[in-house]
Structure 1
Amino acid sequence: MPEFINEEELVKRYNLEIGKVFFFENYLIIEVAEGICFDHNKAIELSKLTNVHFEGRPFGYISHRINSYSLEPTDYMKIKEVFPNLKAFAAVVYNRFQATSVKIENMFFQDGITTFEDLETARSWIKEQLI
Structure 2
Amino acid sequence: MIISYDFGYCRAEIYEDHIRVYINEGSVVGPENITELNYVAEKHFKNKPFVYLAVRIHSYTINPMIYFESNKIQNLLGVAIISKDPKQRSQARIEKAFTNKKLQQFETIGEALEWKDEIIKNFIYNQHNHTLKNKK
Task: Return structure 1 stretches of 4+ with deviation > 3 angstroms.
Answer: none
Match of 1:58 in 2: 49
CA-to-aligned-CA distance 1:21-61 (integer Å, 9 cap, x gap): 11111111101111111111111222112210111211111
Taking the TM superposition and a 5 Å limit, the aligned residue runs for 1:98-117 are: 98-117=88-107
Identity of aligned residues (%): 24
**Greater share of helix residues, 1 or 2?**
2
Contact 1:18/1:42 (<8 A) preserved: no
| Larger of the two Rg values belongs to structure | 2
CA distance in 2 between counterparts of 1:78 and 1:19 reads: 18
Match of 2:12 in 1: 21
Match of 1:97 in 2: 87
TM-score calculated relative to the size of structure 1: 0.85
Report the RMSD for the aligned CA atoms in angstroms: 1.3
CA distance in 2 between counterparts of 1:116 and 1:23 reads: 19
Higher relative contact order at CA 8 Å, sep ≥6: structure 1 or structure 2? 1
Structure 2: state its 5+ residue gaps.
122-136
Structure-2 change in CA distance of 1:37 and 1:27 (3 Å) = same
1:45 corresponds to which of 26, 36, 39: 36
Equivalenced residues, count:
121
